[in-house]
Amino acid sequence: MPAGVAYAFLAAVSFGASTPFAKTLVGAISPVMLAALLYLGSGVGLMAWFCLRALGPAPDQTASARLSRADLRWLAGAIVFGGIAGPVLLMLGLNRTPASAASLLLNMEGVLTSMLAWFVFRENFDRRIFAGMVLIVAGGVVLGWEQRPQFGVPWGALAIVAACLCWAVDNNLTRKISASDAVQIAGIKGLVAGLVNLAIALSLGSPLPALGGMLSAAVIGFCGYGLSLVFFVLALRNLGAARTGAYFSAAPFVGAAISLLMLREIPGSGFWVASILMAAGIWLHLTERHVHRHTHTAMQHAHAHMHDEHHQHKHDFAWDGSEPHTHTHDHEPITHSHAHVPDIHHQHRH
């Protein structure tokens, strides 16, 4: 399995599992306070990892070039949308929506991520990818229709979809800096988003929960938000935003399965119809193969890499031959044909 796909599925599993566990805390902790604690757990844990890793003898695949000043505007936008607005909207939605249904509604994040990637950020796509997204959207529509209230507006479902839109913006902005250190990106996002949400929660009069509740939220945040985001950034680096979003669509199925087992919710027929439609859409993405002759333009950047066909540069420093390694390097123009996805090295037009 390509590394990017594996990272995307790891991100999906860790995030999908967090939704039903977060649902168990919604009644005891206010939505904004819960969002703050989830992200603080993520940020504190990841920044501890970042500092400890810096003391290690050799970098792992998550270690890449540090964030530059030019990256900060993209990171700031990602924090506002994905780290502040998105989690609060999700917690508000979970207040009004069963955890299993909420988990499947989160599939809309992948769809909206792809739509923004295709039509705003100009990532390439084909009929197969588009058909897969149509099926995922259809599954979301079926699920949303089943969860509609008898009277009034389905505010819970709408809040979750709005959270997905915020994360879709976040994903596309984060893709711009995905060559940089994944742990650093996720750690800074968690700390800043957590502190801002904590300030908002306290200003609204939300009390701090008991120590047990705080620790539970922190652990869920580290595993479900922190580790998930690290894997997601690595997937963005290798796959681009749209494909990563598609593979990440497996997350709601993980959350839904845990919800049914742990919370003993009884799903309706719409749940199973939506599951089949969404699974078919994900399958279309998994079986995609994109091959054509393309040209790489000259570029310079820094990230963890090995000396494959795209990295044939020389070094102006003493190198002991260890791989992967990180340094600023140049790419010479090259034209060739092979199966590829819109990763950080394949941003060409079609």
pLDDT number for residue 315:
79
What's the pTM value of the predicted model, to 2 decimals? Answer: 0.77
Query: Residue 62 above 50 pLDDT?
Result: no
pLDDT number for residue 248:
80
288 pLDDT band (50/70/90 cuts)?
Answer: confident
Query: Residue 93 above 80 pLDDT?
Result: yes
Sign for the pseudo-dihedral over CA of 216, 53, 185, 47: positive
In this structure, are strands 299-305 and 291-296 parallel, antiparallel, or unpaired?
unpaired
pLDDT higher for 34 or 344? Answer: 34
Alpha carbon 42 to chain centroid distance?
14
Query: Residue 150 above 50 pLDDT?
Result: no
pLDDT number for residue 199:
92
Strands (E), the chain: 291-296, 299-305, 325-331, 334-339
Average the pLDDT over each of 36-50, 184-198, 298-312 and give the range with the smallest value.
298-312
Quick: pLDDT tens for 265-274. 666 677 788 7
pLDDT number for residue 338:
66
pLDDT number for residue 61:
44
Percent of the chain scoring above 70 in pLDDT: 81
Query: Residue 187 above 90 pLDDT?
Result: yes
Q: Which residue(s) pair with 296 in the sheet?
A: 334
Kindly state the average pLDDT of the residues 115-125: 82
CA distance 263 to 189: 30
Q: State the chain's mean pLDDT as an integer.
A: 80
Quick: pLDDT tens for 12-30. 888 888 877 887 787 788 8
Percent of the chain scoring above 90 in pLDDT: 19
pLDDT higher for 4 or 258? Answer: 4
